[in-house]
Chains A and B, each alone.
Chain A
């Protein structure tokens, strides 16, 4: 039995401790906003926060998460009012949308560390998250916009 907190809610899981967090979230907890794209930490579609840090849930075994706080895309806000979500909506970033949970979670973690990220900061953090539709240009703009919204106390 492993206990952790997911989106503020305590969970006690009777699961093989080697199971990656991704599949616990998706198949056990029904939190399907976190996506499977590669299984080897090569695409970033599965990015979630563990204690506020961006991690790739597809290669993070449940065993490592005992007592930890996990936040997924579903836990970011109640009604799309997180500054990153607002910026994403304002700039109509998503196309197919499949990678966007990972993009948004990575962007949120970046802004927490660097409230005024430069393009180089964005490249360094976001280059690990693939988008086949090519929304990179809008993601870059949306991160700068989210930084503004965040500073404005939104």
Chain B
């Protein structure tokens, strides 16, 4: 997902502020503060203002412990992040341990400006600072050895957790050197390895969390157990924006084992010793809701609002040349309306959180992508200082942007405060589907002019839809921000807020549309913000997932109108975009583009850049009795320097499956102000028997790393839709695909 404070680019030259110290037992501790980059940034904050927290500990027993500030939600950060350190530290990979970092300023993601896992940023954020930290520690250990032996540093080499004096063959383990190393001054400059020297990075590396995930040992939020813990089920108003009017707790309290029935800001909570009892208590509740202004809201009504919004001029998100003028004068003009529905995240682990609150402390255990948000939320509810809030990050049973929200954390903290006991709140699947922050439904009008050569001379994309940032923005108004945030970060947040409010442009609504890579001389992209009652949020790859479906499908319509092959058409328009072109040609080649297919099979292609990576996919589909089946997907990815290729492959497969569910099945509809779907029978996910054979090809690249958690998702829906278009001659302009 994206974040408002997220910057455009990683600054490769930016150095982490390192601090070295010694711990009891002679361990070497390395702390650092990562200056945030980006609009307004916090670069002005002096490093000395901040107490660097420990990130790395090298023990006298040779153990290496790394604090990982990113949440593990399947994307493999618990492996990729320590690989960055281990590469430069030259330690024994098997001895590297990780701990999950607590919520603290020192662990802010420098690309986001808070502790949050999103925007496919983890490797991008830590690629340079963690290698620098590793290289610094290695240099200190070498110096410690050289001084101990009275030899030149240049004659010593560190390898696999040992410093060796090469001429004499003398050796010392890191554990033997840490005591001395910790007393040495931090070197002013360290050299990082060239990619050609990498021993670990770029090699398929087993995930560190797999052994815990095959025997039930991995602790997810749902699995947290504390002494004396109670479990809660919460009844929430089914209508968006509705409120609690009154409730009768008598029948709920009559359920044996129900301990409390409590009103909280999201509804009525039934608290018991176990979840089954709490849930039965909740079913017994008699609640009167004030359904509010949206009690009659429906999908049709919300769609008509988008239609009206589309008629407004909207705000200009990108304008080059004179697109409208060229269009109106064009001899050949193509037009189409595209739309996408609301989508739920449907993480396999429904939302949950656990909290305990005392007079002067609060602890939260949560499967969260957003530790800073959890801490701030708990501080606001309890009135405690943020430093008094401890956030423990569990494994996440899926995240996809949903777990950057704080609604589930808020409920747990409120209930822990009201009951004085540790409370775990568990959402049912129905709660999870009906009270999500949905991918925005949008309506889009596309128009293009074709020149004599068949290539587009003008492109106009008008988007109407609700804004994620308009919902999130109030959290970035300075008054809403905790006092302890650096002033510059508050200003950065405020400037993003101001930008959204004043210009009514939400970058997450237009991404994927504004960065259309094709060589078209006249381009106009507009956005008409139309906010409704349905709360919208960050959904794996955010605006890209819908806008790239729309732009890549419309491009196929233009190719068809011009009588050109969709692959060749793209090639002609991507001459100045070598990385797009590279993945496009690789995917097409691997898919056998242009070669004959078995009868009834059809191919579609799409390419996109998102989160700093470039992905092209070719889908091979057939249609039987109105059912689209995807048989094969050839995927090519250029994500710059690769950390763990096996993870890149897994994330491409993952992004494709996630996108296929959206392309073929996903749709949240609204009736009487409430979500009509509730569980997997009416909000189905892709299943094993629908899984295509996916092959992923990675482009060898020396470019800085791009993200991999999200970029696999955007191209798959258009690749499939374009294959359906090839099969039927009818463009797919609405998701999910219906033929």
The residues of A with any CB-CB pair to B shorter than 8 Å are 16, 19-20, 23, 26-28, 30-40, 42-43, 45, 72-74, 76-77, 80, 85, 88-89, 92-101, 104, 122-124, 126-140
Contacts and interface: CB of A to CB of B under 8 A. Distances in A.
B46 interface: no
Interface of B: 72-76, 206-207, 209-220, 222-223, 225, 231, 256, 273-276, 346-350, 395-400, 426, 428-429, 646, 650, 653-658, 679-681, 685-691, 693-694
A139 B428 CA distance: 26
Contacts of A89: 206, 210-211, 214
User: Which one of B680, B686, B690 has the highest number of Cβ atoms from chain A below 10 Å of its Cβ?
Assistant: B680
B650 A42 contact: no
Nearest to B657: A134
User: Which one of A80, A104, A136 has the highest number of Cβ atoms from chain B below 10 Å of its Cβ?
Assistant: A136
B211 to A, nearest CB: 6
Nearest to B656: A134
A19 B75 CA distance: 35
A107 B43 CA distance: 52
A97 to B, nearest CB: 3
B219 A36 contact: no
Contact of A43 (B210, B225, B348): B348
B650 A130 contact: no
Contacts of B650: 92, 95, 135, 138
A27 B274 contact: yes
Contacts of A131: 348, 657
A99 B348 contact: yes
Contact of B75 (A30, A80, A95): A95
Contacts of A97: 74, 209, 212-213, 218, 220, 395, 397
Given A32-B225, A134-B658, A140-B691, A96 B348 contact: yes
B349 A35 contact: yes
Contact of B220 (A35, A127, A136): A35
Nearest to B680: A42
A99 B74 CA distance: 11
Given A89-B210, A98-B397, A127-B688, 7 more contacts: A28-B274, A33-B217, A42-B681, A97-B212, A97-B397, A127-B687, A133-B654
Contacts of B75: 95
Nearest to A90: B206
Given A27-B276, A72-B216, A94-B210, A37 B429 contact: yes
Nearest to A130: B685
B680 A85 contact: no
Contacts of A45: 348
B735 to A, nearest CB: 18
A94 B214 contact: yes
A124 B656 CA distance: 22
9 contacts: A19-B276, A23-B274, A23-B276, A42-B680, A73-B216, A94-B213, A96-B348, A131-B348, A136-B688
Given A42-B679, A77-B215, A37 B349 contact: yes
B679 A133 contact: no
Contacts of A134: 653-658, 686, 691
A140 B688 contact: yes
B671 to A, nearest CB: 21
Given A32-B219, A135-B654, A93 B210 contact: yes
B347 A132 contact: yes
A73 B212 CA distance: 11
Contacts of A33: 215-217
A98 B403 CA distance: 15
A96 B397 contact: yes
A140 B690 CA distance: 12
A36 B399 CA distance: 16
Nearest to B231: A27
A20 B349 CA distance: 18
Contacts of B685: 130, 132
Given A20-B276, A27-B231, A132-B346, A38 B688 contact: no
B276 to A, nearest CB: 4
Nearest to A38: B429
A92 B210 CA distance: 6
Nearest to A45: B348
**Complex A-B, nearest 9 residue pairs according to Cβ-Cβ distance, in ascending order:** A33-B216, A134-B657, A98-B397, A95-B74, A97-B213, A96-B74, A27-B274, A32-B223, A123-B689
Interface of A: prevailing SS: loop
Contact of A98 (B207, B349, B400): B349
B688 A139 contact: yes
A133 B223 CA distance: 19
Nearest to B220: A98
A72 B214 CA distance: 12
A74 to B, nearest CB: 5
A80 B211 contact: yes
A118 B4 CA distance: 49
B215 A76 contact: yes
Contacts of A132: 346-348, 398, 400, 657-658, 685
A80 B209 CA distance: 13
Contacts of B225: 30, 32
B426 A36 contact: yes
B55 to A, nearest CB: 25
Contacts of B213: 94, 97, 100
Nearest to A86: B214
A39 B350 CA distance: 11
A87 to B, nearest CB: 9
A42 B428 CA distance: 13
A93 B218 CA distance: 14
A45 B225 CA distance: 19
Nearest to B691: A136
Contacts of B349: 35, 37, 96, 98
B215 A73 contact: yes
A143 B223 CA distance: 27
Contacts of A73: 214-216
Contacts of A95: 74-76, 650, 654
A27 B426 CA distance: 12
B578 to A, nearest CB: 29
B530 to A, nearest CB: 29
Given A74-B216, A97-B397, A133-B74, A37 B209 contact: no
Given A72-B216, A80-B215, A134-B656, A96 B73 contact: yes
B653 A130 contact: no
Nearest to B276: A23
User: Which one of A23, A26, A80, A132 has the highest number of Cβ atoms from chain B below 10 Å of its Cβ?
Assistant: A132
A134 B650 CA distance: 9
B464 to A, nearest CB: 29
Contacts of A35: 220, 222, 348-349, 397
B380 to A, nearest CB: 29
B660 to A, nearest CB: 8
A96 B396 contact: yes
A135 B76 CA distance: 13
A137 B680 contact: no
A32 B689 CA distance: 28
A30 B685 CA distance: 29
Contacts of A88: 210, 214
Given A28-B274, A95-B75, A37 B348 contact: yes
B631 to A, nearest CB: 13
A126 B214 contact: no
A72 to B, nearest CB: 7
A136 B657 contact: yes
User: Which one of A35, A43, A72, A133 has the highest number of Cβ atoms from chain B below 10 Å of its Cβ?
Assistant: A133
Contact of A32 (B207, B222, B653): B222
Contacts of A19: 276
B693 A80 contact: no
Contacts of B72: 96
